[in-house]
Amino acid sequence: MVAQNVVFGILAVVMVVAAYRLVTTQNVVRAALFLAVVLAGVAGLYILLAAEFVAWVQVLVYIGAVVVLLLFGVMLTRAPIGRDADLDNDQRLLGALVALFLFGALGAVLLDAFGSDKVGEFSIRRTAEVSDSIFGTYVVPFEVVSILLLSALVGAVALARRD
């Protein structure tokens, strides 16, 4: 077995376990830390794909900024840090059924779109080409997300200052 396959399997298992704990934990701070583990796993997958620039952008932007923003938002709004029983409900079975349906639908769409095609060689060789492919097409969604995060932080500060 190739070492890359083993590393991919380890990263995939860690990301699935952390994602499961992210949505099942009753502690908001731990949920943010599990989110950081999932995002770090995505950065590891980018390194396996030989896209080091995108991996470092993932680490700096998502882990460094989004998780810190989330933690500051939790701290500024004085959200309960410990366990909160009000975060749970009785709809776990329905959620599991919806997740299985979405998994099947995504699998069917991917099989229909790609079938037995193999992944080819990477055609992107320079960082400039990577940045052009990301920020050329998706510059508007990046700006919308930055405005959304800024407004969330301003809203958290406004809620914390209402004393």
CA 76 to chain centroid: 23
Tell me what pLDDT residue 151 has: 85
pLDDT, residue 103, reads 93
**Tokens coding 141:** 């969604």
Q: Which domains does the chain have, with CATH numbers?
A: 3-160 (1.20.120.1200)
- Rounded distance, CA 36 to CA 22, Å? 10
What pLDDT does residue 144 have? 86
Three-class secondary structure of residue 84 per DSSP = coil
**The pLDDT of residue 141:** 82
Q: How many helices (H) and strands (E) does the chain have?
A: 7, 0
Residues of the chain with pLDDT under 50: none
- Per-residue pLDDT tens over the stretch 101-126: 999 999 999 888 887 776 666 565 67
Name the E strands within the chain. none
Predicted pLDDT at 11: 94
- Report the predicted TM-score, pTM, of the whole model to 2 decimal places: 0.61
8 Å CB contact between 81 and 28: yes
Residue 51: its pLDDT value, please?
A: 80
Per-residue confidence (pLDDT) for residue 116, from 0 to 100: 77
